[in-house]
Structure 1
Amino acid sequence: MTSLIPLGHDLWTVEGAAIRGAGGFDFPTRMCLARLTDGSLWVHSPIALTAALTSEIARLGPVRHLVAPNDLHHRFLSDWAAAFPAAIVHAAPGVAQKSPGVVVDDVLTPDPPAIWADLFQQVIFDGNMITTEVVFFHQPSGTLIFTDLLQQMPSGWYKGGRATVARADLMTGDYPSVPRKVRIAFRNRRALRAAIAKLRRLPVQQIVMAHGPVVKENAAKALDNAFAWAR
């Protein structure tokens, strides 16, 4: 049984094992893969690399682009860079400082690199004290790809005191949400609203979060609700 979940138009997602984060909170993990026009693979927020996953990916094409979309999602970057030495490492601002064992070849900007500009748009959410995140929009499938900016932990994921904290922080709930701590950490509200406006102009059909389910129904409405607090 494959672990690759098709999202349409040469885009896949893969659910990984949970990892331990700050404060002892466990986080579910998810990455995305896309096949670019030249046949190479684009890997977003790499999860733990296993032999089975490596074998599955090999059937799709050669891995040529590794993407670290914020400086909190670099834990497995060095493993992937070692396994795929021909791959170019693209990273959000700040990743190079937190992952000194990996050479960052390209620091991401609001303008997508030419190699994937025909498939992806990207929006940078900066001015946040926790992390700078690059959000990607896969145009052929209408998929908006988030990392930590939008979250929806599975029901019952946390227990006891951590469940209470997660609920108060808006990490868990019936709908995707920007965690409360991330909202508070934005220092440049004008830049924040400009980035949100760019997302709202996109023809979003589905949403992928590193820490949450894939949203395939009413995705545009879910996006609007998630950022209503910033108006």
Structure 2
Amino acid sequence: MSAPLLEFGPDIWVGEGPVVPFFLGFPYPTRMAVIRLSDGSLFVWSPVALSDELKGEVDSLGQVRYLVSPNFLHHLFLGEWKSAYPNASLFASPGLRKRRKDLIFDGDLADAPDEGWAADLDQVLVHGSFVMTEAVFFHRASRTAIFADLIENLPRDWFGGWRGYVARLDGIMEPNPGAPREWRASFINRRKARAALGRILDWPIERVLIAHGKPAVSNGKAFVRNAFTWLLGS
């Protein structure tokens, strides 16, 4: 069951989705963002399960024009959103087309924003990993950087038993946010990753929205730096 949308900043809202099982049964919370662009249309980032209540709230904000997956793990609910909004353009993150051959994509995320949202959002592809490439976005009006899995910040009591122990070792829990250690290890080309991070840190970040865990509502740039000490310090 999806929760109602909450305002995160000017023209940006967040919606909490259901908990979904991940590798070895780790339960992950889900979160989406809805951004109202300058032309009044909506950009939906990492859609969560679509309930009637959520659809009603989204429709009250404007017309859904873009549906975006930030990386190839964030795809579970794209199909139901595309069915509900057939006129919206569906954009694939790197590698997602191979995973979701059942979906018809209208475009692919690149290392620069699509012209449809370039007036309101900037974006960077964080290359360097042989496992996965993530698109990170910046919403100018709210000065919000938006991360999917490159920054996770789950409550210390989120996972129970052995999963909690593993998650702490993985470096994805408060007060030390970050990417899972196994994903960090996959960044064999750290020069490329640092270049992407440098572009991100050039943004005037005040807030940081993430898919999994507690976001940052102030001191956003410091939050990002803290989450990437594994990359900046190596």
TM-score, L = length of structure 2: 0.95
Aligned partners of 2:124 and 2:136 also within 8 Å: yes
Distance 1:100 1:78 in 2: 11
Aligned residue number for residue 136 of structure 1: 137
Distance 1:154 1:47 in 2: 20
Cα distance per residue 1:86-139 (max 9 Å; x no partner): 000012111111111111111111111111101111010123133110000001
Aligned residue number for residue 161 of structure 1: 162
Aligned residue number for residue 92 of structure 2: 91
Cα distance per residue 1:36-69 (max 9 Å; x no partner): 1221111000001101101111111111100011
Cα distance per residue 1:170-207 (max 9 Å; x no partner): 12121322221121011211101101111111100000
Distance 2:125 2:111 in 1: 6
| Residue identity matched to 2:98 | Q
Aligned residue number for residue 52 of structure 2: 51
Secondary structure, counterpart of 1:145 in structure 2: strand
Distance 1:139 1:152 in 2: 23
**In the alignment, does 2:213 pair up with 1:206?**
no
Aligned residue number for residue 102 of structure 1: 103
| Residue identity matched to 1:50 | S
Distance 1:56 1:154 in 2: 28
Secondary structure, counterpart of 2:61 in structure 1: coil
Any residues of structure 2 matched to 1:165-204 within 5 Å, and which? 165-204=166-205
Secondary structure, counterpart of 2:152 in structure 1: coil
Segments of 5+ residues of structure 2 without an aligned counterpart are none
Secondary structure, counterpart of 2:33 in structure 1: strand
Secondary structure, counterpart of 1:7 in structure 2: strand
Tell me which stretches of 4 or more aligned residues in structure 1 moved more than 2 Å.
Answer: none
Distance 2:168 2:223 in 1: 18
| Residue identity matched to 1:194 | A
Aligned partners of 1:41 and 1:64 also within 8 Å: yes
Matched residue count: 230
**In the alignment, does 2:27 pair up with 1:26?**
yes
Distance 2:159 2:9 in 1: 31
| Residue identity matched to 2:143 | G
Aligned residue number for residue 148 of structure 2: 147
| Residue identity matched to 1:32 | A
Aligned partners of 1:19 and 1:28 also within 8 Å: yes
Aligned residue number for residue 222 of structure 1: 223
Distance 1:121 1:64 in 2: 17
Sequence identity, in percent?
40
Aligned-residue RMSD, C-alpha: 1.1
Aligned partners of 1:175 and 1:222 also within 8 Å: no
Aligned partners of 1:34 and 1:41 also within 8 Å: yes
Distance 1:74 1:208 in 2: 18
TM-score, L = length of structure 1: 0.96
Distance 1:105 1:187 in 2: 31
